[in-house]
């Protein structure tokens, strides 16, 4: 386990570096960061004895060949920290260096000896020796200064002088010595760690999912041109990403009919996830949506005119009509009766879908082809992918494919639809997915929400898994929405938009509060849009368009909501009232959300703000500015009263405005 004495360097290393953060599984996977942010690198750094230590973070941004050195400072209990600026998309690398710093030790000891009135004659000579040794490592100017100081520290028969003591402890010498430390016996490592820097949209974004084919007028199959026409509404609501279900040709064989019927009637459009027909597969466009050129135009226009990214849904599964079935039979499982194995979860059968066989002898050509599907759409301008059921494809494939793609295109965002078991959901995030769907749709109570979000905030989870919170999807109409009416949609929308720096809704079903399940107990929509074209009345009374617009505006105007890192929950005395805060690092933007989780009844109670968790210490009396209504209240101390009528507005989003207590003084106004 440990190197033999012969294999060690000639200079003995004494410093230990351990428990480095941010890291994921001891460097097996990269940690995630946002281009432009400042991260805190931390490690336990210590050595035997009482020597003072010095430590550095060595950091290399993408494309750089040499290390930048960032000095670390000690916190408590041998933990050290440095703030490292992350600039540039892609893989950053860092490691650490630390050594016993004899000059630092000597200087600190000298002060103690002087304070105790001891004779420091010999100590000054030791110091002079340290300065002379440093001179041999220093630049020309520093070297001259060091040699001159060293000679000034030379003591005579009569011992040392006060001037010599002052010089020895001078800040001047200390500064020069800090520039040319003796690092011969420094410890490096323990290894090099990767940090993947991604664009801010990787962390902060509001997503809107819609079915293009429902945008046609009066039942006509909608097209990319219809989506283009719809962009202003999506932009006006404040969304950053417009996510489209698969846009590929829909298969005919075993096509699904309305309400998931196993046989489609003539003219029924089928499910967009039944991918592949005579018109092509994963790199083709469904003819009824328009042309590839239309699609490229949509992508360009959305970005240029509305700052919206178009997200594509990549679902690696094939209709029996998919070209791969003929061209690459080896990618599928063949049964003894000559048929191809369709998807199953016995006793359930899904004859409209052939899964790909990741244990195929031809797995290498399969992996390459699947990677190339992404590269194809990247070439068409797409930068955001939502990946369907990644947990039913070989997990090592994802690490390889995302790695290959991000090496050339570090700006690409992959959202993992891993509604599966926790270990697999987490592994996909480690393996490279930028963001992850998660269990938010089924976390409803105060206890559930708190435990869920706090679980995501733990180390190392926070370093690899970015949750994207969806109150609904075309596959998931949670019971809470089925029974809670319009207030339930408001509550879940607000929770998603303020608990999660990234969130999304499946619309217009969401803003129209569509809540009929296929049957009681089911989470499928009745007459789901997955199997038929809808004609939505976007102006239906009671719609939440304005509410969502307000939520997204609050998100954009309050930088506190751009991260989950500062999320903190606060006690309330009512189990239906959830209180939580977010803030910016500098404390200049602090929000407190207070949500009535009960969509049926007015709830009231006392909120106990935990100022430690809040991260700022406000004045005794402070203003809370309610950003949904615009109302302002004066609050006092930590305990304040709220009353929330869900039929009116089930939540408060307070911005705290106050002179802020910093150290022992109030020094600015939020």
Q: Is 133 in the site for its own copies (CB under 8 A)?
A: no
- Is 388 assigned a catalytic role? yes
Neighbours of 242 (CB within 10 A): 25
Stretch that binds its own copies, among 109-117, 199-207, 517-525, 643-651 (CB under 8 A): 109-117
In the set 119, 129, 175, 557, which binds its own copies (CB under 8 A)? 129
C-alpha gyration radius of the chain: 31
Within 476-588, strands assigned E span: 502-506, 568-570, 577-583
Closest among 553, 210, 107, 202 to 406, alpha carbons compared: 202
CA 307 vs. chain centroid, Å, equals: 20
Least CB distance to its own copies at residue 363 (A): 4
For 111-149, give the DSSP string. HHHHHTT---HHHHHHHHHHHHHHHTTS-HHHHHHHHHH
| Helix or strand holding residue 207 (H, E) | strand 205-209
Total binding residues toward its own copies, as defined by CB under 8 A: 67
Neighbours of 179 (CB within 10 A): 11
Longest dimension (CA), the chain: 110
Is residue 9 involved in binding its own copies (CB under 8 A)?
Answer: no
Nearer to its own copies, 102 or 306 (CB): 102
Residue of 388, 511, 576, 598 with catalytic role: 388
Specify whether the backbone of 375 is left (phi greater than 0), alpha (psi in -120 to 50) or beta.
alpha
Other beta carbons within 10 angstroms of residue 133's beta carbon come to 16
Query: Smallest distance from the beta carbon of 44 to its own copies, in angstroms?
Result: 5
Q: How far is CA 212 from CA 90, 219, 303, 487, in A?
A: 33, 12, 17, 28
* Interface stretch with its own copies, choices 118-126, 478-486, 534-542, 657-665 (CB under 8 A): 118-126
Q: Which residues pair with 195 in a beta bridge?
A: 31, 92
Binding of its own copies by 458 (CB under 8 A): no
Residues 536-595 that bind its own copies (CB under 8 A): none
Instruction: Indicate if 115 belongs to the active site.
Output: no
- Point out which span in 24-32, 435-443, 514-522, 576-584 binds its own copies (CB under 8 A): 24-32
Answer yes or no whether residue 156 interacts with its own copies by CB under 8 A.
Answer: no
Candidates 88, 181, 190, 485; binder of its own copies (CB under 8 A) is 190
β-bridge mates for residue 387, sequence order: 314, 416
Burial of 286 (0-12, 13-18, 19+ CB in 10 A): buried
Task: Kindly state whether residue 220 participates in binding its own copies, applying the rule CB under 8 A.
Answer: no
Give SS3 for 322: coil
Quote the CA–CA distance of 39 and 22 in Å, as a whole number.
Answer: 8
Cα dihedral 577→578→579→584 (10° resolution) = -150
User: Is 626 a residue that touches its own copies (CB under 8 A)?
Assistant: no
Cα 63 from Cα 66, distance rounded (Å): 9
Among 65, 66, 73, 112, binds its own copies (CB under 8 A): 112
Cβ 192 to its own copies, closest distance in Å?
11
Identify residues 467-526 at the interface with its own copies (CB under 8 A): none
Instruction: Report the 10 Å Cβ neighbour count for 59.
Output: 22
Figure out which of the listed residues 66, 423, 519, 539 binds its own copies, where binding follows CB under 8 A: 423
Q: Calculate the CA 220 to chain-centre distance.
A: 39
Min CB(272)–its own copies separation in Å: 22
Verify binding: residue 451, its own copies, rule CB under 8 A: no
Which range touches its own copies (CB under 8 A), out of 387-395, 475-483, 538-546, 634-642?
A: 387-395
Q: How far apart are CA 592 and CA 614, in angstroms?
A: 9
For its own copies, which residue of 132, 225, 306, 391 counts as binding (CB under 8 A)?
Answer: 391
Assess 662 for contact with its own copies (CB under 8 A). no
- What does the alpha-carbon distance between residue 334 and residue 32 come to, in Å, rounded to a whole number? 41
652 forms beta bridges with 594
| Closest approach of its own copies to the CB of residue 486, in Å | 37
Q: Cα torsion at 25, 189, 99, 172 (round to 10°)?
A: -100
Q: Binding of its own copies at residue 5 (CB under 8 A)? A: yes
Least separation, in Å, of the C-beta of 92 and its own copies?
A: 13
Could you say which residues in the range 301-340 bind its own copies, by CB under 8 A? 335-337, 339
Q: Which of 75, 83, 122, 540 binds its own copies (CB under 8 A)?
A: 122
User: What does the alpha-carbon distance between residue 177 and residue 342 come to, in Å, rounded to a whole number?
Assistant: 71
Q: Which position among 67, 350, 358, 633 is part of the footprint of its own copies (CB under 8 A)?
A: 358
Confirm or reject binding of residue 125 to its own copies (CB under 8 A): yes
Among 77, 263, 612, 664, binds its own copies (CB under 8 A): 77
One of 142, 399, 448, 475 touching its own copies (CB under 8 A): 399
The residues carrying an active-site annotation are 388, 417
Residues engaged in binding its own copies (CB under 8 A) = 1-5, 8, 12-14, 16, 18, 25-26, 28-30, 44, 46-50, 77-78, 100, 109, 112-113, 115-116, 118, 122, 125-126, 129, 185, 190, 194, 335-337, 339, 344-347, 358-360, 363-364, 367-368, 391-396, 399-400, 403, 421-424, 427
């Amino acid at each position: 386990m440990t190197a033999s004495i012969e294999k060690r360097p000639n200079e003995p290393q004494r410093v230990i570096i351990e428990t480095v953060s941010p890291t994921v599984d001891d460097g097996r996977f990269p940690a995630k960061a946002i281009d432009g942010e400042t991260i805190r690198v931390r490690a336990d750094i210590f050595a035997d004895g009482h020597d003072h230590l010095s430590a550095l973070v060595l950091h290399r941004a993408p494309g750089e060949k040499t290390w930048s050195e960032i000095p670390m400072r000690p916190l408590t209990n041998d933990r050290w920290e440095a703030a490292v600026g992350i600039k540039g998309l892609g893989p950053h690398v860092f490691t650490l260096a630390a050594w016993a710093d004899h000059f630092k030790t000597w200087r600190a000891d000298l002060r103690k000896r002087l304070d105790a009135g001891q004779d420091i004659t010999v100590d000054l000579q030791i110091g002079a020796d340290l300065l002379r040794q440093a001179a041999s490592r220093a630049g020309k100017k520093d070297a001259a200064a060091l040699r001159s100081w060293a000679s000034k520290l030379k003591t005579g028969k009569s011992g040392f002088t006060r001037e010599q003591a002052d010089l020895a402890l001078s800040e001047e010498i200390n500064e020069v010595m800090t520039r040319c430390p003796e690092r011969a016996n420094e410890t490096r490592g323990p290894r090099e760690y990767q940090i993947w820097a991604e664009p801010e949209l990787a962390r902060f974004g509001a997503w809107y999912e819609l079915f293009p084919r429902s945008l046609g007028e009066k039942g006509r199959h909608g097209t990319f041109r219809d989506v283009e026409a719809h962009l202003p509404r999506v932009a006006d609501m404040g969304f950053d990403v417009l996510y489209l279900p698969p846009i590929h040709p829909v298969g005919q064989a075993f096509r699904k009919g309305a309400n998931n019927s196993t046989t489609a009637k003539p003219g029924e459009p089928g499910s967009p996830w039944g991918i592949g027909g005579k018109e092509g597969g994963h790199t083709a466009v469904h003819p009824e949506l328009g042309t590839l050129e239309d699609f490229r135009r949509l992508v360009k226009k959305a970005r240029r005119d509305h700052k919206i990214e178009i997200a594509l849904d990549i679902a690696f599964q094939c209709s029996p009509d998919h070209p791969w079935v003929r061209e690459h039979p080896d990618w599928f499982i063949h049964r003894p009766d000559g048929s191809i194995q369709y998807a199953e979860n016995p006793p359930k059968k899904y004859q409209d879908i052939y899964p790909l066989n990741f244990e195929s002898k031809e797995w290498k050509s399969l992996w390459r082809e699947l990677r190339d599907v992404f590269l194809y759409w990247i070439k068409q301008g797409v930068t955001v992918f939502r990946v369907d059921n990644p947990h039913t494809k070989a997990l090592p494939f994802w690490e390889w494919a995302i790695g290959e793609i991000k090496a050339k295109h570090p700006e690409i965002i992959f959202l993992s639809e891993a509604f599966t078991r926790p270990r697999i959901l987490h592994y996909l995030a480690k393996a490279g997915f930028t963001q992850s769907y998660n269990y938010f749709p089924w976390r409803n109570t105060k206890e559930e929400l708190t435990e869920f979000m706090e679980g995501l905030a733990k180390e190392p989870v926070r370093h690899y898994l970015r949750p994207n919170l969806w109150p609904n999807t075309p596959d998931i109409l949670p019971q809470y929405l089925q029974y809670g009416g319009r207030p339930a949609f408001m509550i879940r929308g607000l929770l998603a938009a303020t608990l999660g720096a990234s969130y999304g809704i499946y619309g217009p079903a969401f803003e129209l509060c569509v809540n009929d399940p296929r049957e009681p107990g089911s989470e499928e929509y009745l007459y789901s849009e997955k199997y038929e074209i809808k004609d939505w009345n976007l102006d239906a009374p009671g719609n939440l368009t304005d509410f969502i617009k307000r939520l997204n505006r609050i998100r954009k105007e309050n930088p506190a909501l751009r991260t989950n890192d500062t999320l903190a929950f606060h006690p309330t005395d009512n189990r239906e009232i959830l209180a939580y805060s977010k803030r910016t690092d500098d404390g200049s933007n602090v929000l407190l959300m207070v949500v009535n989780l009960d969509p049926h009844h007015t709830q009231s109670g006392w909120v106990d703000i935990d100022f430690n968790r809040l991260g700022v210490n406000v004045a005794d009396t402070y203003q809370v500015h309610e950003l949904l209504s615009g109302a302002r209240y004066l609050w006092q101390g930590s305990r304040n009263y709220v009353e929330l009528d869900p039929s009116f507005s089930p939540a408060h989003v307070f911005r705290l405005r106050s002179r802020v207590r910093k150290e022992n003084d109030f020094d600015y106004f939020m």
